[in-house]
């Protein structure tokens, strides 16, 4: 048994609880979707005043994964396996995540904080993964990435450093929330350090929220699921100790539109399976030089911008606006087309080659 993934899960959960104690929003110590949305807002790509901040956790995560993959000779620039499709997948994943109000990581943090609304989200997430596996078994394959010049792999880390510098300099053209979740922030260096630690751990352990459930269904391998369980256990324990555990449907940064929590996370699970990993994993792979994953991340950032420009996000304590409901259904249709239409990439074929 390899305990790296359990250790990573414990560290991720502990750091998420710590970041909340240091100022991040409740049950949002570490949320990939929320943080990318905040970054989109800070860059002015959307104007939702409550969610605008350059989250140093995102810079730390990608740079941590980048540095540890360089050190261990795992960094390699590669890409070109259907980047446009990956953009669409990233976009759809963000629409689903912001309907539910959280990525798969925050789903677990919400469960560990006592938010019962997240249970329908979890069921939807598993259902989405299951549908995605049917698509894979039916022959969905995004195609094969090629090696790229090393410098291409540096673009994403450079972007991360640039936005961190922007956070430190705070030029006038950036937006920073004065109220709402975007104004609730851990100290910059603590957030950066936590991000670095999580990036290193997640890169080493291959922690992936969809991978855990996928591997159970597909190859009966529970390995990655232990990371998921460890995050839940430590956030539950941490919230209980800190008195932050709040069991119930209300008083959460969440809503109780259960059908849309369910369908939102179906989109996330289905989309993430087709993209080859959960949002956290996409950020790690982008740091390792996978430029297709970088395109997925860009899709998520642009998706967040559209979600808030068009009012498609779930509203805490209220529900999902009808425009958001339409967006979720359209994303489901898009994913079904990608997963089952076989219009993109090559069909699965045996890659076995005999030696000449």
Partner 1 sequence: MQKLDVCGLSCPMPVIKVKEAIDAGKLPIQVTVDAGAPVDNISRLAENQGFSVTKSPVEPGIWLLEIE
Which residues contact partner 1 by CB under 8 A?
Answer: 2, 69, 72-76, 78, 81, 136, 141-147, 203, 206, 208, 211, 214-215, 218-219, 221, 223, 275-277, 285, 288-290, 292, 348, 350-355
Q: Least separation, in Å, of the C-beta of 343 and partner 1? A: 17
Q: Least separation, in Å, of the C-beta of 319 and partner 1? A: 34
Q: Least separation, in Å, of the C-beta of 120 and partner 1? A: 26
Nearer to partner 1, 2 or 251 (CB): 2
Count how many residues are written for the chain.
Answer: 356
211, 278 Cβ separation under 8 angstroms: yes
Q: Which of 178, 180, 31 is nearest to 106 (CA)?
A: 31
Q: Least separation, in Å, of the C-beta of 352 and partner 1? A: 6
Contacts of 180 (CB under 8 A, 6+ apart): 49, 50, 51
User: Taking the CA atoms of the chain, what radius of gyration do you get in angstroms?
Assistant: 19
Q: Least separation, in Å, of the C-beta of 142 and partner 1? A: 5
Q: Least separation, in Å, of the C-beta of 351 and partner 1? A: 5
> Could you tell me which residues are beta bridge partners of residue 315?
319
Q: Which of 349, 348, 339 is nearest to 129 (CA)?
A: 339
Nearer to partner 1, 38 or 290 (CB): 290
Q: Least separation, in Å, of the C-beta of 73 and partner 1? A: 4
Which is it for strands 146-147 and 78-79: parallel, antiparallel or unpaired?
Answer: antiparallel
Nearer to partner 1, 277 or 324 (CB): 277
Nearer to partner 1, 31 or 284 (CB): 284
Q: Which residue has the tokens 């936590």?
A: 194
Nearer to partner 1, 55 or 206 (CB): 206
Q: Least separation, in Å, of the C-beta of 214 and partner 1? A: 6
Contacts of 87 (CB under 8 A, 6+ apart): 295, 296, 298, 299, 302
Nearer to partner 1, 305 or 334 (CB): 334
173, 166 Cβ separation under 8 angstroms: no
Nearer to partner 1, 17 or 210 (CB): 210
> Which structure tokens are listed for 5?
């993934």
Backbone phi, then psi, for 72, in 5-degree steps?
Answer: -90, 15
Nearer to partner 1, 250 or 348 (CB): 348
Residue 59, classified by CB atoms within 10 Å of its CB into exposed (0-12), middle (13-18) or buried (19+), is buried
With H, G, I as helix, E, B as strand and everything else as coil, classify residue 233. helix
Nearer to partner 1, 47 or 71 (CB): 71
Q: Which H or E run contains 146?
A: strand 146-147
Contacts of 349 (CB under 8 A, 6+ apart): none
Q: Which residue has the tokens 């090393």?
A: 150
Q: Least separation, in Å, of the C-beta of 51 and partner 1? A: 30
Backbone phi, then psi, for 270, in 5-degree steps?
Answer: -65, -50
């Amino acid at each position: 048994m390899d305990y790296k993934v359990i250790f990573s899960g414990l560290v991720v959960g502990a750091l998420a609880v710590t970041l909340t104690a240091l100022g991040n929003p409740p049950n949002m110590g570490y949320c990939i979707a929320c943080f990318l949305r905040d970054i989109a807002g800070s860059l002015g790509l959307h104007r939702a005043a409550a969610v605008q901040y350059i989250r140093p956790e995102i810079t730390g995560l990608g740079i941590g994964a980048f540095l540890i993959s360089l050190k261990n000779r795992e960094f390699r620039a590669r890409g070109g396996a259907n980047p446009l499709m990956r953009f669409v997948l990233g976009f759809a994943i963000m629409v689903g995540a912001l309907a539910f109000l959280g990525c798969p990581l925050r789903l677990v943090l919400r469960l560990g904080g006592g938010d019962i609304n997240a249970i329908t989200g979890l069921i939807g997430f598993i259902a989405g993964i299951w549908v995605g596996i049917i698509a894979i078994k039916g022959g969905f394959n995004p195609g094969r990435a090629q090696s790229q010049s090393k410098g291409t792999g540096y673009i994403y880390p450079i972007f991360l450093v640039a936005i961190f510098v922007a956070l430190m300099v705070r030029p006038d053209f950036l937006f920073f929330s004065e109220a709402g979740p975007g104004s609730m922030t851990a100290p910059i260096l603590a957030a950066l350090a936590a991000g670095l630690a999580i990036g290193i751990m997640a890169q080493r352990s291959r922690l992936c929220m969809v991978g855990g459930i996928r591997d159970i269904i597909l190859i009966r391998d529970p390995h990655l699921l232990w990371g998921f369980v460890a995050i839940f256990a430590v956030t539950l324990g941490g919230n209980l100790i800190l008195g932050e555990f709040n069991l119930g449907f209300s008083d959460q940064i969440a809503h109780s539109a259960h059908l849309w929590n369910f369908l939102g996370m179906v989109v996330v699970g289905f989309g993430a399976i087709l993209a080859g990993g959960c949002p956290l994993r996409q950020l790690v792979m982008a740091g390792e030089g996978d430029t297709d994953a970088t395109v997925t991340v860009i899709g998520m950032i642009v998706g967040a911008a559209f979600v808030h420009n068009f009012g498609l996000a779930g509203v805490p304590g209220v529900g999902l606006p009808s425009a958001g409901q339409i967006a979720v259904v359209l994303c489901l249709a898009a994913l079904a087309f990608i997963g089952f239409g076989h219009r993109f990439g090559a069909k699965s074929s045996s890659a076995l080659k005999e030696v000449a």
